[in-house]
C-alpha cells in the first residue's frame, strides 16, 4: 500500500466510517505495527495487544489525520509508539484498586494514633470524592488513577485541554476546601 492509498483509506474512514478501507488499512498495518513494537523489545502477545489498540484508535481518531502534516504511516506508527509507552508505564506500577486507592498509603506500623488519623483521612477523602460531579470524577480518575497526562485525558474524552485542566483544578480545589474545613 503506497502513502497516498493509506491516506485515502484514513480519509474514507473519517468521512464515511468505511469498513472496507479500514480492513485494507488493518491488513497492511497490523503486522507492521506488531513487528515495530516487537523490535522495541516487547513480546509477541504484548505487541499484538498494542497493534490492536493502535488500530482501534486509528478507527476512532481517523478524523484527526491530516495528510498535509504527516503521512498515514507516520501518523499510525506515532499512535503505536504512544500506546507502547502507555503500556510500559502501566507495567512499571503496582496495581491499585481505583475504588480503594488510599489503602495503598495506609501505615503498616503499630502506631495506633497515626493509623486512626489515616483511616479518618481515608474515609473523608473517599466521601469528598463521592461528592464530586461526574465530570470532575471522570477527569480525576483518568489523571490520577490511570496516570494519564492532561493531554491524554482530553484526547480520551474528546474535550479541549483547557476544559480538562479546569475540571481537575476545580475538583482538587473542592477536595482541598473539604479537607481544610475539617481541620478548623
* CATH topology assigned to domain 98-183: Arc Repressor Mutant, subunit A (1.10.10)
Tell me which residue of 74, 55, 51 sits closest to 13, measured CA to CA: 55
What Å distances lie between residue 182 and 103, 176, 178, CA to CA?
20, 10, 7
Q: Which three cell numbers stand for residue 35?
A: 513487528
Kindly report the CATH number that applies to the domain delimited by 3-91.
1.10.1740.10
User: DSSP character for 68?
Assistant: T
| Residue 164: CB atoms within 10 Å | 25
pLDDT tens, the chain, 184 aa long: 898 999 999 999 999 999 999 999 999 999 999 998 888 888 888 888 889 989 999 999 999 998 898 899 999 988 988 888 877 776 654 444 555 444 444 444 444 445 556 667 777 777 888 888 888 889 988 888 788 899 999 999 999 999 999 999 998 898 888 887 765 5
What's the pLDDT tens digit per position in 141-150?
A: 888 878 889 9
pTM, full prediction: 0.50
Residue range(s) of every CATH 1.10.1740.10 domain in the chain? 3-91
Residue range(s) of every CATH 1.10.10.10 domain in the chain? 98-183
Amino acid at each position: 500500500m503506497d502513502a497516498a492509498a493509506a491516506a485515502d483509506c484514513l480519509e474514507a474512514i473519517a468521512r464515511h466510517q468505511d469498513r472496507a478501507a479500514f480492513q485494507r488499512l488493518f491488513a497492511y498495518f497490523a503486522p507492521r505495527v506488531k513487528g515495530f513494537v516487537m523490535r522495541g523489545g516487547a513480546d509477541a502477545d504484548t505487541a499484538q495487544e498494542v497493534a490492536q489498540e493502535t488500530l482501534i484508535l486509528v478507527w476512532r481518531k481517523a478524523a484527526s489525520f491530516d495528510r498535509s502534516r504527516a503521512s498515514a504511516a507516520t501518523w499510525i506508527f506515532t499512535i503505536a509508539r504512544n500506546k507502547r509507552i502507555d503500556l510500559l508505564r502501566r507495567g512499571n506500577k503496582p496495581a491499585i484498586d481505583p475504588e480503594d486507592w488510599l489503602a495503598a498509603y495506609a501505615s503498616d506500623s503499630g502506631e495506633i494514633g497515626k493509623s486512626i488519623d489515616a483511616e479518618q483521612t481515608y474515609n473523608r477523602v473517599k466521601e469528598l470524592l463521592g461528592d464530586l460531579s461526574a465530570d470532575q470524577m471522570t477527569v480525576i480518575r483518568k489523571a490520577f488513577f490511570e496516570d494519564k497526562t492532561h493531554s491524554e485525558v482530553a484526547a480520551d474524552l474528546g474535550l479541549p485541554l483547557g476544559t480538562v485542566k479546569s475540571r481537575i483544578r476545580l475538583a482538587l480545589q473542592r477536595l482541598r476546601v473539604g479537607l481544610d474545613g475539617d481541620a478548623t
